[in-house]
Every structure is written in C-alpha cells, then in structure tokens.
Amino acid sequence: MIKELLHTARGALLLDEETFADLKTSHNVFARGVLLIVIVSLIVSLVGSAVQLVGGLTAPPFSAQRRSIEQEISRAFRSMPGMDVDMEVLEEMILDWTSIGLDIAESIDQLPTPLPRPAGNILRAMGSTVSAPLLRLSGWMFFTLIVFVVAKLMGGRATVQEMLGTTALYIIPHIAGVLNPIACLRTLAWVVATVWGIVIYVKATAVANEIDNGRAALAVFLPVLVPVFLLMVTFTIGVLAALTGQ
C-alpha cells in the first residue's frame, strides 16, 4: 500500500495524466484520497507539534524572558541616533508600558492548571496533531463538492467519489509544510506548496471530469472568484453610498 501511494504521489507531482486516470478508475479511489490527505496532514502536524513541544519544554522561565525583553528595548534606544526628544524619558515611558503588559502576561503564565505544565503541553500537541487532518479533510470536501457542481454544469462526467479521490492529490506538495518551523523557508514552502497544489487540483479536476484544462481551471477558480467579486461590488456600493450620503 505504501509503495503504491508513493508511486501515486510521484506521478501527481509530475502531472502524469496516467496516474490521475489510474486513481480515478481504482475501486477504492475515495479511500485512497482520504488516506493521502490524512498521512500528509499528520506528518506536517507531527513535525510542527514536536518543534513547538520541544520549544515549550526547553523555554527559559518567564522571568528570564522578561529581563531579555527589557534589555532589548534599552539596547534599541541606546543605538538610536540623536533625536529632538529626551530619549531617556521616552525609554522610561516605553519600559513602563512594556512592564504593564509583561505583568499581565506573567500573571496569566502563573495561573494554576488542571495538569502539570509538561503534561498539558503534550496533550495540546497531541490534540493539534489529531485535529489537523480533520480540518484539512472538511475544507477539502466542502470546496471539492462546490467545484464538482460547477464542473458538472460544464459537462463534467465524474462521480462524487472520483472527484474527491483524484483531487485529493493536491495535498502531495503540502508535505513541504514540514519546513514551516524554519523561519527563512516557511514562506517559500507555503508558496511552492500552494501553487503546485492548485496546478495538481486543476489537472485532477480535468481528468476526473474528462474535460479540458481550461474548463477545469474555470471550475476550480469560479467558486473563489465569484464571492470575491460580489464582496468587491458590495464594498464599492457601500463606499459610494457613504460618499453620496455625505
């Protein structure tokens, strides 16, 4: 099963039409699509949760973090060039405001918890890991059913199971989400995964419905563009009404 899924993932990344067609005609197309989304979502979520958990368990006490913040503020003011204001007074004012906020944060941090903090952190990480695939599945199903209806209006011939199973391949590039904990790569990984995922989704829609890529792209983007267009029209009308009322 794993070898088969890896073969499917490779074909999807390369936009191999035969891979999409083979998945569409398989007897368990929907189950395979769901499995792909669950596996990728779990891998990405596990990596992110593990990094957050380790960071939370190894973080210095709040008092040390507080001193570091105050020192950074003072250092920033000392490095500023001369200005037409009393920098010492301004620094003291900013530190006072910061101190109020830190007092509130420290009070919250010291609130009693039902479980010891390490155990609570572990349970939160587990909850985040388990919920990630469920959130991904619900969003994918909702959007795909809308695209399915639009594609049908354009002559699409897919069944609901075929449509859901093949479009699930869009998740493959999102494995790049394991790079999210690396700040310098997070944005790049998100852009690559999103663009590549959209391309795969359009290709899957075309193959599943036996329509050309142009109509498939229209079916995919219309559910997004129409609400955006209506929102822009509503906003414009609201602005014009406000200006006219004045």
According to the model, what pLDDT value does residue 85 have?
Answer: 47
Q: pLDDT tens, 50-79?
A: 776 666 555 556 566 667 666 666 666 566
Please report the DSSP string for 120-139 in residue order: HHHHHHHHHHHHHHHHHHHH
Residue 83 has pLDDT above 70, yes or no: no
Q: Which domain holds residue 200?
A: 2-245
Average pLDDT over residues 88-101: 62
Better-predicted residue by pLDDT, 245 or 215: 215
Q: Are 122 and 57 in contact (CB under 8 A)?
A: no
Average pLDDT over residues 73-97: 59
According to the model, what pLDDT value does residue 105 have?
Answer: 54
Q: SS3 for 48?
A: helix
Running DSSP on this structure, what letter comes out for residue 163? Answer: H
pTM: 0.73
Residue 124 has pLDDT above 70, yes or no: no
Q: pLDDT tens, 174-228?
A: 999 989 888 888 899 999 999 999 999 999 999 999 999 999 999 999 999 988 8
Domain count, the chain: 1
**Nearest Cα residue to 197 out of 53, 56, 12, 48:** 12
Average pLDDT over residues 140-158: 94
According to the model, what pLDDT value does residue 132 have?
Answer: 81
Residue 40 has pLDDT above 80, yes or no: yes
| Burial per residue of 50-82, b for 16 or more beta-carbon CB atoms within 10 angstroms, e otherwise | eeebeeeeeeeeeeeebeebeeeeeeeeeeeee
